[in-house]
Amino acid sequence: MSIAFIILLLPLVAAASILLGIRKKANLSAYVSVASAGICFLLTLGLIRGSGGEAGAFTWLSVGGLELKIALEITGLTRGMILVVTLVGLLVHIFSLGYMRDDAGKARYFAGLSLFMFSMSGIVLADNFAMMFIFWELVGVSSYLLIGHWFQKNSAAEASKKAFLVNRIGDFGFMAGILLLWGATGEIGFSALRETLEVQTFDPSLLNWAMICIFCGAVGKSAQVPLHVWLPDAMEGPTPVSALIHAATMVAAGVFMLTKVTFLIIAAPVAASVIQHVGALTALLAALMATQQSDIKKILAYSTLSQLGYMVMAVGFAGFLHSGEAVGAVASNAGFFHLYTHAFFKALLFLGAGAVIYACHHEQDIWKMGGLIRLMPVTAITFLIGTAALAGLPPLSGFWSKDAVMAVTQNSTPLLIVGAITAFLTAFYMSRLCTIVFFGKARSQAAREAGEVPLMMRAPLVILALGAVIAGFEFAYGWFIAPADLPHPHGALPLVLTIIGVAGIVTGYLLHRGREKDPIRVEVLVRKFYIDEFYLFLVRVFQDGVAYLAKAVDQLLIDGLIVRGSARLTVGVGLLLRGLQGGNLQRHVFLFGVGIVIVIYLITIALG
């Protein structure tokens, strides 16, 4: 059995043994889960040094011409992604030991985390669409379980349900796309598909539709507009979960999958254009929404949406025709590079937010915090490093990856402008967050009493901060993407981006310094463009419409026609026949006589 298979299965073993065996012993369960994550990380270090290729394939299902294989494919992207998953996963496990120390559902929580690690590794290592889809659904399940960890809280239960349902919408498209592609080419393996597409030519409109359907899966999982509504609500889950699943790994699965099928995006230019524009729209709208939120986790959630939009936009450019030739893998590499760096600094920001929330006794409203830099310096400084990386300040990792993404968008001026505005907004809202939370005066008792978090929670912050600083340098990513395969910005783009980032930070600081509430309040942004309300309205219209229809069918057809109708028929016929029963003997005799006359007439004259 290869290393990759052990990385895949070890978390499953941990999850199963916790759920089936040692569930009652919360601390032991937690250590088992952390140990499995740790071993997976060490094995990953071994895996990414080894050679690539496929590992341990066996046929899972064979129906007619279709063979579904459980096989692992290890490419450059896979190595980068599996490192992110296991490293961030391990740090989040360790952080959780502190964060969830006194939680009643600790064993269940760690079982969920291990199940997630198993599912996510499956997505990363899958070598075909069918296997990826299975694990795709499994991460959905583990995400559902972890968002709803505090299911006693109604909002958490609702949020987990919403996340699952919205993801199902996207996954339906994903499955349809896989089937379309399989129907057209007869292949579902990634490498087999790539080879087939190189050799044969297919109907471009078919490929476009297949790619758009597959993209639906990414829209759901990576929370792009219009299916982004689940991610902010998913913040109801424990904060380490938000860091791992809803910032660094699972939501990036959509981008990872798109990167993996870059060859398909190149073959489907219309779909590529759709992907670019959906990504750009998400990046801009989410950044706008983030500027007006007051829940620390919601701000980070919208920021995640916005950055995912960046990645999706970049990957979409793979199919963009630049003077007759597709931009190609360079673009998707840029998207993946941003995914890689983003995983570090966004996980850092979420864990930092978790530390702040922990220190403030589960207070999440930034307007009740303040001045925390004096009370918890390690958290604050690492958080500020994450902020600077997210804002794209050189020489932090975010600067390099954002440069790569923006270099790709230089192919299309409108999207370049959207990207630049988003970059400014990103710096602005992060600066707003930091100014309010870490500087100024404490605004509540909880913030005054806050103290530095324990070492078990500080250590992951420091390690991730280190990652956020160095992940953009060549030695940190060169082993899975050759620097030559990344786009290079033309002209003064890096300088302009730096100026935009600094401008955003300064504006955010000056506007919010010493304030008690937002100086500018834009209702439409606070209400998130009324998209949730719109969906509620749609649900109400359609659900109520269907309900009315069902009610009409029930009342008119079933009750009215079938049940009461048969009763009425009986009564009516009875009424008719009742007239004949006059109770008068002589009338009966008369009718009898008439009947005999008719019979005689028929026998003798009509028939005779």
Partner 1 sequence: MMPSLNEYLMVSGLLFAIGFAGVLMRRNIIIIFMCLEMMLSAANLSLVAFWRFGNGQGMPAQGYDAQVLVFFVIAVAAAEVAVGLAIIVALFRARCTVHVEDLNSMKG
Give the shortest CB-587-to-partner 1 separation in angstroms: 9
Smallest separation, CB 579 to partner 1 (Å): 7
**Shortest gap between Cβ of 581 and partner 1 (angstroms)?**
3
The three-state secondary structure class of 321 is strand
Q: What is the DSSP string of 277-307?
A: HHHHHHHHHHHHHHTT--BHHHHHHHHHHHH
Q: Which stretch binds partner 1 (CB under 8 A): 336-344, 401-409, 527-535, 580-588?
A: 580-588
Query: Which residue, 374 or 587, has its beta carbon nearer to partner 1?
Result: 587
Shortest Å distance, C-beta 580 to partner 1: 7
Shortest CB 556 distance to partner 1, Å: 32
The angle at the Cα of 519, spanning 427 to 361, to the nearest 5 degrees, equals 75
In degrees and rounded to multiples of 5, residue 461 shows phi and psi of -60, -45
Return the residue of 20, 580, 606, 607 that touches partner 1, per CB under 8 A: 580
Q: Which is nearer to partner 1, 569 or 591 (CB)?
A: 591
Q: How many residues sit close enough to partner 1 to count as binding (CB under 8 A)?
A: 13
Interface residue with partner 1 among 154, 201, 584, 604 (CB under 8 A) is 584
Tokens of 229: 């509504």
Residues 589-608 that bind partner 1 (CB under 8 A): 589-590, 593
Contact 427, 506 (CB under 8 A): no
DSSP string spanning 50-97? S--EEEEEEEEEEETTEEEEEEEEE-HHHHHHHHHHHHHHHHHHHHHH
β-bridge partners, 126: 72
Which residue number, 324 or 583, has a Cβ lying nearer to partner 1?
A: 583
Q: Is the backbone of residue 53 left (phi > 0), alpha (psi -120 to 50) or beta?
A: left
CB 575, min distance to partner 1, A = 9
CB of 585 to partner 1, least distance (A): 5
Q: Which of 581, 604, 606, 607 binds partner 1 (CB under 8 A)?
A: 581
**Whole-angstrom distance, CA of residue 337 vs CA of residue 479:** 12
- For residues 520 and 577, which CB has a smaller minimum distance to partner 1 in the complex? 577
Compute φ and ψ for 85, nearest 5 degrees. Answer: -65, -50
State the nearest-atom distance from the C-beta of 577 to partner 1, in Å: 8
Stretch binding partner 1 (CB under 8 A), from 136-144, 339-347, 588-596, 600-608: 588-596
CA dist 245 and 446 (Å) reads: 28
Residues 539-578 that bind partner 1 (CB under 8 A): 577-578
Q: Which of 33, 176, 196 is nearest to 100 (CA)?
A: 33
Using the minimum distance from each CB to partner 1, give the nearer residue, 484 or 580. Answer: 580
Classify residue 314 by its DSSP letter.
Answer: H
Which residue lies nearer to partner 1 by CB, 473 or 592? 592
Q: Measured from the CB of residue 546, what is the shortest distance to partner 1 in angstroms?
A: 47
Q: Which is nearer to partner 1, 186 or 582 (CB)?
A: 582
| Binding residue for partner 1, selected from 1, 585, 605, 607, defined by CB under 8 A | 585
Query: Tokens representing 582?
Result: 């006059």
Which tokens sit at 568?
A: 């009425």
**Binding flags for partner 1, 409-448, as an x/- string (CB under 8 A):** ----------------------------------------
Contact between 582 and partner 1 per CB under 8 A: yes
Tell me how far, at minimum, the Cβ of 605 lies from partner 1, in Å: 18
- The residue (of 482 and 598) whose beta carbon lies closer to partner 1 is 598
281-284 CB contacts, 8 Å cutoff, 24+ apart? 281/225, 281/309, 282/223, 282/224, 282/225, 282/228, 282/306, 282/308, 282/309, 282/312, 283/307, 283/309, 283/310, 283/313, 283/418, 283/419, 283/422, 284/309, 284/418, 284/421, 284/422, 284/425
Strands 53-63 and 66-74: antiparallel
By the 10 Å C-beta count (0-12 exposed, 13-18 middle, 19+ buried), 521 is classed as exposed
Q: Which residues bind partner 1 (CB under 8 A)?
A: 577-586, 589-590, 593
